């Protein structure tokens, strides 16, 4: 396996040269210079590096020795080790006497950069695999249970268990990337949770629900996710599912909860499908193209109501379940004023809010207006 790439070698060179006023060369396991402060030396063979690779230990080169060696200048060359094997060589240009004190520090710095890079690559590989698993689990078309379980085993995750889909969608005023959001929410997850990014840049968490027995426990988790996102993400919560094939439905519910919930209550950040289930079902009816003209009567309220007072009255009437005293208190108006407004709504729309069937039509029309 090739541990040292040109990009990583050059990163080692640039990091090291910031703190050391000497040229640095990095050679691969064949003695070829793949990173250097002197760009003209890249891709040259370094005889000193070959000696280090053959002997397995550092090698000092003075002026006399350098004159007899190909692609070599005075300096000290040291093996770069990873997992107890030599994967390359790092060289410091200069007279050995003047740079000997720095040699081991430069070697340690190179090995640390290499280790960090490979660790990051491993983490990113796990993230990509998790993301692929998540996208397969929530897909209606690309579902392969055997493939999913096989890949999840690589990560030590048991897929086939009770789960809840949680969707995080960046709000318009968000100032950070999805990668930053991924890192932030990662610390709120447990071993068997899965997290990935969809093609629409939504972050999807398939939360293992074994430890979540009450809605209050789920809400506490989501509140922590909201805080981790800097209160900038819109969060949708789907229903709990016991089946691996039910995750598509839970994911779609979380998506719909965000879509409908954010239209009806833009001041909120968290939208639970269970709270918006009726609104979502009714919105499907309201969005039927053939029925759009059936709700044209609602626009008369928008046009006639002074400062939107008739629409506000209808909203309060629905929210307070038609209890006149509560509606009057909420709107700070007398009951007689409320009765007048309800009559006005009836007069304009032909639908009486005090009639349950007419109220449903009014609510559907309002819903249609709010979500489109």
Between residues 297 and 70, which one has the greater pLDDT? Answer: 297
Q: Verify that 298 and 267 share a domain, yes or no.
A: no
**Domain boundary residue among 283, 308, 342?**
283
pLDDT for 286 equals 61
User: Which tokens go with 261?
Assistant: 């919930």
Q: What is the mean pLDDT of residues 94-120?
A: 89
**Residue 84 falls within a domain, yes or no?**
yes
Residue 296: per-residue pLDDT:
81
Residue 85 maps to a domain = yes
Half-sphere exposure (CA, 13 Å, Cβ side) for 123? 10
CATH of the domain at 270: 3.30.70.270
* Domain match, 265 and 307 both: no
Residue 123 lies inside a defined structural domain of this protein: no
Q: Which residues, including other chains, have CB under 8 Å from residue 58's CB and lie 6 or more apart?
A: 52, 76, 77, 78, 79, 103, 107
Does the residue 126 lie in any domain? no
**Overall residue count recorded for the chain in this entry:** 372
* Domain extent at residue 346: 288-371
Look up residue 45 and give its DSSP letter.
B
pLDDT value of residue 31: 94
Q: Residue 266 falls within a domain, yes or no?
A: yes
> At 309, which CATH number?
1.10.10.2840
Residue 177's pLDDT is: 67
Residues 256 and 316 in one domain: no
- The mean pLDDT value of the chain amounts to 87
Same structural domain for residues 216 and 314? no
Question: Is residue 148 domain-shared with residue 70, that is, in the same domain?
Answer: no
What's the domain count of the chain? Answer: 3
User: Residue 24's domain is classified under what CATH number?
Assistant: 3.30.450.20
Identify whether 129 is part of a domain.
no
Task: Please tell me the distance from the alpha carbon of residue 156 to that of residue 133, in angstroms, as a whole number.
Answer: 13
Same domain, 224 and 295: no
Please tell me whether residues 105 and 156 are part of one structural domain. no
Looking at the structure, do residues 85 and 100 belong to the same domain, yes or no?
A: yes
User: Does the pLDDT at position 176 exceed 70?
Assistant: no
Same domain, yes or no: 222 and 322: no
CB 203 within 8 A of CB 197: yes
Over residues 251-286, the pLDDT tens digits come to 999 999 999 999 889 899 999 999 999 888 877 766
* Domain end among 234, 264, 283: 283
Confirm whether 318 is domain-assigned.
Answer: yes
* 69 and 105 assigned to the same domain: yes
What is the full DSSP assignment across 293-336? GGGTTHHHHHHHSGGGHHHHHHHHHHHTTT-HHHHHHHHT--HH
* pLDDT in the model for residue 290: 54
Q: What is the mean pLDDT of residues 126-143?
A: 88
Q: Please give the pLDDT value at position 288.
A: 60
- Is residue 203 situated within a structural domain? yes
- Residue 316, pLDDT score: 92
Distance CA 260, CA 276 (A): 8
Q: Let me know whether 42 and 72 are in one domain.
A: yes
| Domain-ending residue, one of 110, 128, 163 | 110
Tokens 């960090």, residue? 116
3-state secondary structure 245-267: HHHHHHHHHHHHHHHHHHHHCCC
pLDDT on residue 292: 62
Residues 361, 278 share a domain = no
Name which residue leads in pLDDT, 345 or 180: 345
Q: How confident is residue 301, by pLDDT bands cut at 50, 70 and 90? A: confident
């Amino acid at each position: 396996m090739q541990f040292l790439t040109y990009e990583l070698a050059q990163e080692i060179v640039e990091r090291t040269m910031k703190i050391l006023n000497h040229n640095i060369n990095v050679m691969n396991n064949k003695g070829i210079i793949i990173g250097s402060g002197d760009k003209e030396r890249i891709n040259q063979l370094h005889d000193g590096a070959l000696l280090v690779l053959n002997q397995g230990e550092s090698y000092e080169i003075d002026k006399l020795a350098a004159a007899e060696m190909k692609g070599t200048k005075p300096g000290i060359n040291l093996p770069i080790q990873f997992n107890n094997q030599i994967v390359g060589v790092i060289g410091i240009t200069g007279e050995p006497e003047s740079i000997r004190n720095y040699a081991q520090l430069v070697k340690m710095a190179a090995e640390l950069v290499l280790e960090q890079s490979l660790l990051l690559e491993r983490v990113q590989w796990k993230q990509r695999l998790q993301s692929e698993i998540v996208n397969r689990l929530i897909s209606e078309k690309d579902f392969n249970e055997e493939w999913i379980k096989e890949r999840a085993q690589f990560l030590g995750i048991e897929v086939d268990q009770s789960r809840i889909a949680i969707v995080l969608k960046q709000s318009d005023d968000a100032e950070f990337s999805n990668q930053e959001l991924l890192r932030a929410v990662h610390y709120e997850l447990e071993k068997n949770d899965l997290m990935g990014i969809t093609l629409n840049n939504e972050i999807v968490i398939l939360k293992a629900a074994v430890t979540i027995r009450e809605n209050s426990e789920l809400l506490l988790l989501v509140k922590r996710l909201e805080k981790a996102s800097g209160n900038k993400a819109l969060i949708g919560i789907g229903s709990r599912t016991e089946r691996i094939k039910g995750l598509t439905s839970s994911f779609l519910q979380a998506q719909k909860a965000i879509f409908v919930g954010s239209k009806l209550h833009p001041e909120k950040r968290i939208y639970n499908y269970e709270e918006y289930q009726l609104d979502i079902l009714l919105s499907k009816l309201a969005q039927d193209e053939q029925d759009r003209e059936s709700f044209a009567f609602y626009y008369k309220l928008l046009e006639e109501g002074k400062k939107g007072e008739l629409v506000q009255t209808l909203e309060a009437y629905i929210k307070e379940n038609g209890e006149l005293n509560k509606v009057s208190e909420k709107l700070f108006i007398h009951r007689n004023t409320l009765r007048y407004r309800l009559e006005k709504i009836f007069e304009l729309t032909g639908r009486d809010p005090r009639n349950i069937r007419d109220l449903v039509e009014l609510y559907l029309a309002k819903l249609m207006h709010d979500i489109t």
